[in-house]
Chains A and B, each alone.
Chain A
Amino acid sequence: MERRGFIKKGLSWLAYIFGAAALAYPVFLFMSFRKIRKKTVVFHPDEQLAAANFKEGIYLIKKGTDFNALSARCTHLGCTLNFDAVSQQFKCPCHGSLFAISGKWVSGPARKDLMSIPVETEANGDMEVEFEI
């Protein structure tokens, strides 16, 4: 008798758990869905003059006549990096990570290098950087 009661209770618990999970799963998927969006940042010729040019979360780095783009997001926890023209390094204001102008991690808790993003040159001299957010 006791055993039967136990099994019955166990089964009804299982039914509850499965029922709740069956309801929670679509709710969770709905709530945690997000469409990936693309963002384009355009650096006009007058915004390409410094060694590191910042615009909307991107650093456009000038090396001679070459350009490359780096994400300004710190690879630790996502704060926006400052560029220090004296030391030619990126510094994070949140937990102090340092990165070289090439994007390589130098010190601090971040560990990973900065994300580099392809740059496209337009006919009118604009530099276009497209990335996902």
Chain B
Amino acid sequence: MSDTGKIINKISSYMPRLGLSALILCLASGIVLVFYYRPMGNVFQNVEEITTLVPYGWFFRQLHYGSGQLFTILMLLHTLDHFLRKRYRIYLFKEWVLLIFSLCLCFFVLFTGFVLKGDKEGFFAGQIFMNILEAIPFIGGSVSKLFIVPGDSFFFLPYLYHCFFLPILIIYLIRDHIREWFPNQRFLLIGTAGLFLYAIFVRPAIDIPPEASVAMIQGPWFFLGVQTLLKFLPVLLAGLIIPGLFVGCLLILPVIKTDSPTRDHRGRIAYVGENGLHYLLVVALCFYGFLTLRAAIWGP
């Protein structure tokens, strides 16, 4: 194997282990935050108190934020690595579906975390999420209430999902996929040291008070592309159908896996189908990356 090949292989085996260290730190710091965080009443003030009043609150908040982001980003890169190398071929359909579903749940945890901040961005993100769900024909009104409701308990359901349901579900779903729950100490140490330094030295972004008047509000980084699409396309299409189609196509990849452009007619069709879908997804990813970058630089 060439040197670059070896390096790439090393990186792709290190990523998930470092990710697991980040997850452990994220869960630990999340449990610390829960002791002061209250999802009812003035949530923004509560979060500001964590940052400015509670001893080391700023540290745990930033540690939780950094480790949560790092974990999800590493899981995304890990999945991308498997996808680009077409390694979904080695998975059973069921396994692949559960793993992609878990990745989606990771983003959902990140999103609910963004809402839990309780500042203007978080509140609007929750509001938009609720309204997109409500736009589903017939059942939207009921479905949205399973995730978020307007009024005093706006943050309560996202809180339950973020702190309890989703982390437990994610760990349950990936339990067989993880070979070693406690990554070897080197990774845990490097991850911890890196994230501690990050939490100590990197100042968090300033939270915008809910009553402030701000000309433009940005969603979380991974939804900047969707935010742009929502400007130009109908809500259902931009908010649910397009993301749903993307995930759906990703899910069915292992169904039509083929090893080579084989002998018979059906084999050839499957080969073309798989490759076609693979490259379609690559193009869609590049386009989404472009939208995200554009929104990050010039605003959504």
Contact = CB atoms under 8 A, between A and B. Distances in A.
B227 A94 contact: yes
Given A32-B145, A76-B235, A109-B230, A93 B216 contact: yes
Contacts of B216: 93
Contacts of B149: 34
A27 to B, nearest CB: 10
Nearest to A82: B213
B128 A77 contact: yes
Contacts of A63: none
B217 A94 contact: yes
Contact of A93 (B131, B132, B215, B231): B215
B142 A77 contact: no
Contacts of B300: 95
A78 B145 contact: no
Given A77-B127, A133-B150, A31 B215 contact: no
Contact of A78 (B130, B141, B143, B146): B130
B151 interface: yes
B231 A95 contact: yes
Contact of A32 (B128, B146, B150, B151): B146
Contacts of B215: 82, 91, 93
Contact of A79 (B124, B145, B146, B151): B124
Interface in A26-51: 28, 31-34, 37
Given A32-B146, A109-B232, A94 B128 contact: yes
A80 B230 CA distance: 16
Interface of A: 28, 31-34, 37, 76-80, 82, 91, 93-96, 108-109, 133
Cβ-closest 9 pairs across A and B: A32-B142, A77-B131, A78-B127, A32-B145, A77-B128, A93-B217, A95-B231, A78-B131, A79-B124
